[in-house]
Amino acid sequence: MTLYNTPIHKLNQMRLEGAVSTTEITEAVLGRIDATEKDLHSYLSLTPDNALAKAKATDDKLANKEAVGPLEGMPISVKDIFAIKGQRTTCGSKYLENFVSPFESGVTSRLDEAGYALVGKTNMDEFGMGSSTENSAFGPTKNPWDLSKVPGGSSGGSASSVASGQALASIGSDTGGSVRQPASYNSIVGLKPTYGRVSRWGMVAYSSSLDQAGPMTQDVTDAALMLNAIAGYDHQDSTSLKIPKEDFTAGLGQGLKGKKVGVIKELDIASADSDVIKIYQENLKLLEASGAEIVEVSIPNLQHAVATYYVIAPCEASSNLGRYDGIRYGHRSASASNLTEVYEQSRDEALGEEVKLRVLLGTFALSAGYYDAYYLKALKIQNLIRSQYKAAFAQVDVIASPVSPTAAYNFGDRVGDPLKSYLADCFTIPANLAGIPGISVPGGFSGNLPVGLQLLGDHLSETKLLSIAHGFEQALDLKKPSLAI
């Protein structure tokens, strides 16, 4: 066992027993970054001095017999979509390459309250638009299981940092699967909470009605601890839910006996690779053998989820990215000679091709004569999907599916073919449309490449979802092969 690939809850117990110091833990993670970052490129900025200072302060508290929380002093990375005061927040875009945030996001404010140690900000697809981290303006992140494969996206840097031991945990964001899919590709746990459970304040907006921050961790227990820290009402976020605080670790260890696990009748499982199907079926058998009951449920409009998402998300992106105009902040064209050229050239020079594609798609769908035909119709289908999931959860505790139709793929495989990339989100997108929580848990390996199991829960059912995910994790007890790095 090495310190950098040991879950936070175990390390916390070790340091409380005096077996290890927070400084030793942090030095192990920073050493791992030094050894691997040149090959992985998980980070866009690093803050080692901050991490070491927080570690020393935590060790001083421990020496003085003061109470220390489980995340206190622990080296954690944050996706570069979250504003951190005084730090660069690029969102993977050349447009914001030199933008230093004057304020702190809701998520990182809560992590500060929990005492976390920021080790760095991670690479991502530009403005969260992508599933491979190939759309980052600063170059792609590599998958630590196979350097020729993508780490997934858009939270690919976060996933790679946790899987490789460059951070003990990370915070990503999930608009259509951007926490869960890279978690699957990297054999870590990725949780998308209920929409509104975690503050979106200071998280750079892609699609405001779908975006949600979530933890990416080495195991389910750490995901629960991280959610404990970041969940809660934020008056600065108009979509934040004012609900009582919960302890998401409360259901851990309850097992799977008597739980009902749904499988969707309309799920297009045949679109997945044979290895993914095989691992998924084995995971279902394990759930059943561990005491769960498998129940078929129906989501009649599931087939329309991807099309619905790729109308709603680009429409909201078109609106949200209007602020990048070359006037207020970010990149401004040096060659512009009038106001129109400032707008046009600044955006043309500094926004990537995928971002331009989605903004154009959204602008078209919102234009006169097309709003009713596309955007309004998509909202109606979204409401149908939401109500159909609600009906399904009246019958089951969770719904299971693969996370992605494939394991991690080669760099360049989907470049130039956006439709192929969009269709690969077919299993993750419905949770965002319905606003429900979803988790990716390591489910097995196709050769040396990880494959995850997705579990979805009803609105605000994270405690139950984490309990069942933990039961599955314990039953599987996955033995992982060695990383490529």
At 128 the pLDDT is 98
Q: How confident is the model over 72-123, as pLDDT tens digits? A: 999 999 999 999 999 999 999 999 999 999 999 999 999 999 999 999 999 9
| 22-81 confidence digits (pLDDT tens) | 999 999 999 999 999 999 999 999 999 999 999 999 999 999 999 999 999 999 999 999
Give the mean pLDDT of 148-173: 98
CATH topology of domain 3-257: Amidase signature (AS) enzymes (3.90.1300)
Residues annotated as catalytic (active site), given as ranges:
79, 154, 178
Each residue of 125-137: pLDDT tens digit? 999 999 999 999 9
Distance between CA 202 and CA 106 in Å, rounded? 6
Q: Residue 153's pLDDT band (boundaries 50, 70, 90)?
A: very high
Instruction: Tell me the per-residue pLDDT of 355-367, one tens digit each, with 9 for 90 and over.
Output: 999 999 999 999 9
pLDDT confidence of 416, banded at 50, 70, 90? Answer: confident
Distance CA 327, CA 69 (A): 43
- Confidence (pTM): 0.97
Looking at the chain, the whole-number percentage of residues with pLDDT higher than 90 is 97
Q: Kindly state the average pLDDT of the residues 432-436.
A: 98
| pLDDT reading at 3 higher than 90 | yes
Provide Rg for the chain, Cα atoms: 21
pLDDT at res. 288:
98
Q: Where are the domains of the chain?
A: 3-257
